[in-house]
Every structure is written in C-alpha cells, then in structure tokens.
Structure 1
Amino acid sequence: MTDGEKLAALEKALLDESVDPVDLPFSLLMSITENFSDAREIGRGGFGAVYKGVLPSGGIIAMKQLFERYEILDKNFESEVTCLAGVKHKNTVRFLGYCSETQQVLIPYNGKRVLADVRHRLLCFEYMPKGCLADYLSDASCRLQWTTRYQIIKGICEGVHYLHQQRIIHMDLKPQNVLLDDSMVPRIADFGLSRRLSGSQSWAITDHKLGTMGYMAPEFLNNGEITYKTDIYSLGVLIMEILMGHKESSSVKEVIILYVRFQQTKKL
C-alpha cells in the first residue's frame, strides 16, 4: 500500500472503532508530526515520547515513539502491540496503528561516516484532549468534583476488570497512565510493561522488576511475583490518590472528613 492508502486506512481506523490497527510507514508519521517537532510533543516517560499527529482531515491522534534502547525496545514493543491488538473497551485507550521499521543512515564514528541501523518503533492511539489523570491530582481538592472522581474510579475499575478477563496484567497502573476524554471518561493507557498470562497460568515470576515506586505491590517488589493482585494493589493506591489528591494519606478518616466538608459546602 502507498502512503496515501495507509493514511486513508488510519483515517478510517480513527472514525470506526471496529477497524483493526494499521501497520504505518515511518515517513507518514513524520509528516503528520512535523518531523516530530518539539511543538508537537505532548508528553515524555521512561520508555518514549508522545507526539500529537494531525491528519489532513483535521483528525488528531497521539503517537508514542519508543526510545532507542536496545535492551528494552523489542520486548516492550512486542508486549504492548500484542496486548493492545485485542483490547477494546470504553475504559482502555483505543489503539489505531503501529510502525516497526529499521533504516540505514550515515552517522559519524571515529572520525568517519558509517552506515548504522536506526530502528523506529511507534504506537498510535486516539488522542485524549483532557490529558492524563495526574494533571488533576495536585492537592486535596484535586480540581475534580466528587461525582467526577467517583465516575473516574468506577471507569478505571471496569477497565482493570476487563483486562483481567482478557488475562492481561497491566503492571503499571498510575495517574500518568490514565487518560481522560472530553467527557472525563478514564482510559487506561501504556501497556509497555503488561503481561498476558496463558490459559493455565495464574501467576508468574520475573527478575525484571520494572514499574513505578509507590505503585508496585510488595510481593512483586520483593520477590518478582506477578498475579492479578499486582494490579489490585496499584489500583488501591490510585483510588486513594484520586480521593485525597496525593498518595500519602494518613487515614481513610481523612477522606471521610473531606467528603463531609464538601457536602456541607454544597448546602451553603
């Protein structure tokens, strides 16, 4: 397929939720991000940077470009594509397409210019205009009404339940990995560390304890043990953070006091 045909396929995937993710050429992704300009960058994490891509029709997508780190690149890219390919739920980010290309380019080396392989690994998603949940959790008021907080918690729980039904353990639930659409509906994102268990598996062990401190379950952090409870621990931390505006809450009683004050304010 030509770049024009691939672009049309991407446009269709953006409009039609039933369309499968599209294999996209790197040249096309360069063109819709203005060559990955700084002005189009909308986020950056440990494994990659996220850019806004603008389609000729005016549609907008979000594009994660994985960093060129050979020890993690292939493993995380394959894991994320595999998990995302079959994930379709109102509380998970919608996966539109991907790019996996290797190019030979001239680079300076020991005073000479030599040909070297440069690998491009990118993932494309529906753009979430409200950003990530972390942007709204700055203090106890957390810029969110209680009804909105409840709906966000409910949506995240439904998304996690769906993933577990698909035998997927997310492994990195945190506010930065929950995106919000125009209606503040939460979408779980970033499946780079996810694990899919086989039909007979209920747990796994790993020596690679990757994740975010403060959200990792003790049994995973100490022993590398992975179960569905790994996500439930992270979910509990996330729920407390949504309620309190921060992770370090002293007690559940503090949450209740804040809620009572909020109800009293509404009556004034």
Structure 2
Amino acid sequence: MDHEATITEQELERMLFDESAEPKALPLSLLERITNGFSYRMEIGRGGFAVVYKAMLNNGAVAVKRLSNTYMYENEFLREIECLVKVKHKNIVRFLGYCVDTQGNMAMYEGKFVLADIQQRLLCFEYLPNGGLNGYITDPSFGLEWRDRYNIIKGICEGLHHLHQRNIVHLDLKPANILLDECMKPKITDFGISRCFAEDQTRIIASKVVGTTGYMAPEFVSHVITQKYDLYSLGVIIMEILIGDKGGQSVDNVRIR
C-alpha cells in the first residue's frame, strides 16, 4: 500500500486549477471517495482494459481511470505514465496524478486460507465536459460549424506535433481518444499503447502492434513503428471531420494525386 500519497481533496482541487502543477501520487482512499466507491453511476467511459469515472470535487471535477486487470495491463499503465509525465500542452489532456496501491486480502484456496495481493492502478486527469470527438462527427450539413471543425483539426495537429517533438508515438489516435473541453478545444488522451522513443531513435520493431481497425496504417503488418502511424490516423480523422463518415476508410478507396 502506498503510504506516501497524502494529497487531500483540497490539494487536488488546487492542482486542477494550477496548470503549472506537476502530477503527484494520490491515495486510493481519496479516489474512492470522490467516485462514490467507483460507482457505476459515475462511469463516463469503458475500454479494453480500463474504466473511466467522473469524480466530483467541491469546486470542479476530474476524471479517474481505473485499470480493470492490473496484472495483465501493468505495462500499459507504466507506459502511459511514462508518456504523460513528458507532455504538457493545451491540446493534450492534463495529467494530475496516479495511484499505485497493493493490499493483502485473505481468501480460501483449495481448502486453505492464503494471503492474496489485490492491486489497484489508477490515473487522474482533468475532466472534459463535452466528451469524445466521435460524438460530433456528423454530416457537414449538421452539427459543428466549419470554423469549429477547422479549429478542432488544427488543435489535434498541434497536440500531435507536440508528442512527436518529444519522441512519443500515440498509436491509437482516433475520435474517441480526442476529448473536447467546454470551449470545444480538442485534447488528445489515452496513452495506454503509446511508445516513447529514445532521443536519436526513429523506429521500433514491436513483437505485436495493436490499435483500432480503420485508423491503423497499412504497414502495421511489418511491426515497424514510426511516427507515420499517427499521421495515417490523423488523415483518417480529418476526412471523418470533413465528410462526416465514421469508421475510417478502406485503403483501396484512398487516391494519391
């Protein structure tokens, strides 16, 4: 159990409104309290290996991401923290803190009591009220004004540029991983499968490549990861924003002029 995480709710609230604040270790008891014991009523998102909750403070709200299977997804948790601590940009979701907690729990196994470790791995972010971009991709005749579409595209490009300048490849860029604040400013989130390159590194050969169908570059079959992966995803997202068609495009339908 992490005994050094002593941040209070008031301190977390001050961090939320201080954009210069650095991420800190947060106590599990605090995250449990502000999510009403991780109540299903507070859920705002659910993915392959995590559940996201809206957590209420006295004068604001944050988002708490709780890993579903900490033993299976420990690497994703560590990789996400590694990427998040390196970035601070208006178009990337603000990372406020993390929780690493392990408690012993007595359980019956094959007729005997055994002490089993229960792990908790959580991340805390700013809460963005307008949800994911995927909820705003509609026919050009409806939904967002053209200026809003342009500003969203521009913001995504600036956020992605910031990541690439810091040798981070996102690898799962898609509308659901682009959140919108109260002013419809886009912020890139979810770095669970992202990779951080060394300063002079331009590619990684991965044992396997995961992502979302429709947004993965065709060359993923080679298992050679470069920044081009994100650029392909960005192109698909831009097309979706402009024409209102969800789910990506087949490579066979892309023409090079």
Q: Which residue of 2 aligns with 1:234?
A: 233
Give deviations 1:7-50, integer Å, cap 9, x for gaps.
33312210101010010011110011000001101110112000
Which stretches in structure 2 are left out of the alignment for 5+ residues? none
**Where in structure 1 are there 5+ consecutive unaligned residues?**
254-268
Q: Which residue of 2 aligns with 1:117?
A: 117
Contact persistence 1:142–1:244 (CA under 8 A)? no
Instruction: Give the drift of 1:138.
Output: 4.7
Q: Is the contact made by 2:7 and 2:25 (CA closer than 8 Å) also made in structure 1?
A: no
Q: TM-score, normalised by structure 1?
A: 0.87
Structure 2 Cα separation of the partners of residues 213 and 4 of structure 1: 41
- Paired AA for residue 39 in structure 1: R
* 1:53 is the counterpart of 2:55: yes
CA distance in 1, matches of 2:248, 2:216: 15
- CA distance in structure 1 between the partners assigned to 2:142 and 2:249 by the alignment: 14
Provide TM-score, normalisation by structure 2.
0.90
Displacement after TM superposition at 1:169 (Å): 0.6
Q: Distance in 1 between matches of 2:7 and 2:162?
A: 33
Paired-residue identity, %: 53
Q: What is the match of residue 224 of structure 1?
A: 223
In 2, Cα distance between the equivalents of 1:111 and 1:145? 65
What SS does the corresponding residue of 1:106 show, helix, strand or coil?
strand
Contact 1:95 1:126 in 2 (8 A): yes
Q: How does 1:1-268 map to 2 (within 5 A)?
A: 5-55=7-57, 57-71=58-72, 73-110=73-110, 113-139=113-139, 141=141, 143-220=143-220, 222-245=221-244, 246-247=246-247
CA RMSD of aligned residues (A): 2.2
Tell me the distance in 1 between the aligned counterparts of 2:223 and 2:198: 18
Distance in 2 between residues matched to 1:137 and 1:160, nearest whole Å: 20
Offset, 1:86: 2.1
Structure with bigger helix share is 1
* Alpha-carbon offset, residue 69 of structure 1: 4.7
Q: Count matched residues.
A: 250
Separation (CA, whole Å) in 1 of partners of 2:84 and 2:141: 33
Bigger shift: 162-171 or 9-18?
9-18
